[in-house]
Structure 1
Amino acid sequence: MNMKHSLIQLIDLPDEILILIFKTLNNVDLLYSLMGINVKLTQFIRDPIFTNRLTLFRYSSNDLIYPLDNTILDRFCLQILPEIHHKIKWLNVEPLSMERILLITNYSNLHGLGLYNIEDETFRRLFAGKKYDDSSIHQNLEEKLPSLTSFSLTCDTDMSFYWELIVPLIHRMLNLEELTLYIELSSFKIFIDGNNLKENIIYHLSRLNKFVFNILSIMHLYMKPYLPTNEEIEHTFANFTTNKIISSVDYFPRRQ
């Protein structure tokens, strides 16, 4: 009875007040709690203010990422996302649920995609491997991606598939305007410096106007070649004139 009374009170509020209240809430919680509960509220929360950008995971108190509860995820995949798929312009997803979320429907107006802690096998299935005949988004992911104007990739473990999969994927984003890379790379041959970013990323993206990156590049120097100094690494970023780039180079002897 109290819940019904609270719902009536909520419905009776002016639209301006509802917007102020709902904008203080998490969009995922809002959609999960109110979608389908009442015609007016359902129509109200389908507004682009609440559906444009969805982050479909949680942060713990120490900023670790973890998936939505199964009950919430099931409802989003079975009901909410198929209903609002055409309204979603940006999705942020995590590894345990991203495959299900990205393949559940066709996000025809998706312009931004954030991948967090994606794993090698998941990436291969989504972007470079197994076919999903019943999903039009997978076909889009395997080909050119002209609709994506923003892409964010965050991973706190070594991305061994960066050169094989990530770089070619970015090259397919022909109209990319904003790119964010927070990644860790380990290599025996290549150190990621300014020259490398220009040759493999920037020169391939003619519309790119914002590039935010924090890259930990680890190189195993078994052959003991010439070791560049931090100043030499910084010099490779000389043409990055908009903002100052901070670099730090450390060398650690191999354990005997």
Structure 2
Amino acid sequence: MLRSNFHLLDLPNEILLIILKKLDNIDVLYSLSGINNERLDILAQQKIFTNILNFVPALTDDVYSIPASILDRFCFDILPRVHYNVKCLILDSVHMTRILLAADYPCLGQLKLFNFSQDIALSYFTDQSSFQHIFRQQITDLSLICNEDTSKTSVKSYAKNIYRHILTLFKNLTHLSIIKLAGGQYECQPLSLSNLSLSSFSSSTLTNLSISLNSIEDCLSLLDGRLKQLSTLIIIVYGTQNHSMLDHNMVDVSNLKCFSLTYKRIEAYDAQVVPLLRRMSHLEELTLYLCIYNRSIFVDGTHLYNEILIHMPQLRTFIFYIRTKIDIGNSIHQLPVNDIQQTFNKIQCQEVGCILNYNSVTSICHVFSLPFSFDCLEWIGNTFPNITFNHVTFLKVFDSVAFKHEFFIRVARSFPLLKEFFVINCTSQFLFWKRKNLQFQDYQSYSIVEFSHLTSLNISHAEIDYVEQFLNSTKTSLPCLTKLEVNYDNLIYVTENFARDATRVNCSKVKWLIVERSIVYLKDIHHYFPSLQM
């Protein structure tokens, strides 16, 4: 090892493979294939580098892009030589045609498609598709990541044109996932089964399904016998129907072992969700993310144990976040956090956290398993536990008591990966200030709040103090901020009509400025927001 002319190729294959495994598979193939070195070329074609090919390496402005020269080399040179090993392709829909036509893929069984849209489905998920032999016979695992504005497409037509065609064409599917792009602008168009017959959306092979639904009724319909082999079901429900589901035809679901339900606005929890869960007596894993309205008392550990968990004797894993929001019109005794946490004594398999927010408008109780496993947390106030929420990327805070500078320091420390922040507070941080002669100060003695990953900030429903709090770079650092929603009058005041240096830095990378009324973007605004996109 003391030789000055020691080279990478002097290493044995075992050591080279250890090094190459640290790299992305696409990088290995692109760098080593066809470089006039037979040894490296053979190493690059090993199954460990060709089983899974990910052609979605980077996300820029919501569009996955690959340089044309790289794509050309893969399609003309690399893929025809390694195609027989490829078991999984991860593609952007823009590149799907070229890559699938570049070679035969006799072992391909898994396809993950980004930026999936209705046009893609209508063009390729048909019997006339040039890839129908791959889709129909080979693909067993299909993941579709959507990022399409479907506001002008009806739920009914989407169900008939997209969801029905998928199960009709992909005859051997065992895993199907149709979800939104993480951090994407648009939600998936949910599936509605009310207009589809049992035979038009059914499968005898599907075991794992992850999907958005229009209502809890559709969840029950999925469990009416059309998916007999289903063992894992992950759903997000968007609808808010209030009628009871107790008499719905839900057949034996003894095969269902894992169930995850995300329901962000439930207005009939006791009539819809509780009866559904009670029927899943064979579950081994249960995940709940529930936001409950129109209930007179908080959902606590006693309720969960007596009404749900006691009916699941095989349950091994229970991950949950449940928020109960009670309007102030309903009188409620203010319980301390410890009293709520003690109701979970019978659920001894994990630690439980609790946040209570009593204010002049609502009473809100959050209960959740620890560590916190979800990416979204809303409607917390000044008081929250001293724990780290490592997965939360979206946070909404609300209180009738002012948020002080120290509060935002705690938020930045407790939510280290925060990307989207929504602040609602109409109480001034400094009550002695009068609006007409308000003067802002730079508090150099304060620690600067560091939001290293924050890209989106909504302070349009916050007092002017919070515009100062976030835009003043001597108080808050926002190096990645690209989207800002704010009251325009407050913005003008805090930036001193787009001339103040202390607020210039945090505005420099903003691409989307959203205000409550139509405005004409003057030269001063463009100068102050140099990255602004029209």
For 1:115, the equivalent position in structure 2 comes to: 113
C-alpha displacement of 1:111: 1.4
C-alpha displacement of 1:58: 2.1
For 1:3, the equivalent position in structure 2 comes to: none
Separation (CA, whole Å) in 2 of partners of 1:198 and 1:54: 37
- TM-score w.r.t. length of structure 2: 0.38
- Structure 2 residue 75 is the aligned partner of structure 1 residue 32: no
Give SS of 1:54's match: strand
**Runs of at least 4 residues of structure 1 off by over 6 A?**
225-228
Structure 2 CA distance for partners of 1:113 and 1:187, relative to 1, 3 Å:
closer
- TM-score w.r.t. length of structure 1: 0.73
- Structure 2 residue 165 is the aligned partner of structure 1 residue 168: yes
C-alpha displacement of 1:20: 1.1
Which deviates further from its counterpart, 98-107 or 109-118?
98-107
Q: Deviations over 1:178-200 (max 9, x none)?
A: 33331411689965345524645
* Equivalent position to 2:174, from 153, 173, 177: 177
Separation (CA, whole Å) in 2 of partners of 1:163 and 1:249: 31
C-alpha displacement of 1:44: 0.6
Give SS of 1:97's match: helix
Give SS of 2:22's match: coil
Structure 2 CA distance for partners of 1:166 and 1:201, relative to 1, 3 Å:
farther
* Equivalent position to 1:71, from 54, 69, 72: 69
* Equivalent position to 1:229, from 253, 263, 267: 267
For 2:446, the equivalent position in structure 1 comes to: none
- Structure 2 residue 289 is the aligned partner of structure 1 residue 246: yes
For 2:434, the equivalent position in structure 1 comes to: none
For 1:148, the equivalent position in structure 2 comes to: 139
For 2:466, the equivalent position in structure 1 comes to: none
Which deviates further from its counterpart, 107-116 or 176-185?
176-185
C-alpha displacement of 1:216: 6.3
Aligned 8 A contact 1:82 1:104 in 2: yes
Separation (CA, whole Å) in 2 of partners of 1:171 and 1:21: 44
Give SS of 2:23's match: coil
Higher RCO (C-alpha under 8 Å, 6+ residues apart): 1
For 2:78, the equivalent position in structure 1 comes to: 80
Q: Which has the higher helix share?
A: 1
Separation (CA, whole Å) in 1 of partners of 2:146 and 2:63: 11
- Structure 2 residue 56 is the aligned partner of structure 1 residue 57: yes
C-alpha displacement of 1:163: 3.9
1:138 maps to amino acid: Q
Separation (CA, whole Å) in 1 of partners of 2:160 and 2:13: 50
C-alpha displacement of 1:23: 0.7
Aligned 8 A contact 1:167 1:200 in 2: no
Aligned 8 A contact 1:179 1:211 in 2: no
Separation (CA, whole Å) in 2 of partners of 1:249 and 1:99: 44
The equivalences for 1:193-204 within 5 A come to 193=215, 195-197=217-219, 199-200=221-222, 203-204=225-226
How many residues are matched?
Answer: 231
Separation (CA, whole Å) in 1 of partners of 2:112 and 2:234: 13
Structure 2 CA distance for partners of 1:171 and 1:198, relative to 1, 3 Å:
farther
Separation (CA, whole Å) in 2 of partners of 1:189 and 1:211: 16
Q: Deviations over 1:97-121 (max 9, x none)?
A: 1122123222111111111111222
Could you say which structure has the larger radius of gyration?
Answer: 2
Q: Deviations over 1:45-93 (max 9, x none)?
A: 111111101111222378x451211111111111211211110101111
Structure 2 CA distance for partners of 1:172 and 1:124, relative to 1, 3 Å:
closer
1:71 maps to amino acid: S
For 1:138, the equivalent position in structure 2 comes to: 132
Q: Which has the higher strand share?
A: 2
Which deviates further from its counterpart, 183-192 or 39-48?
183-192
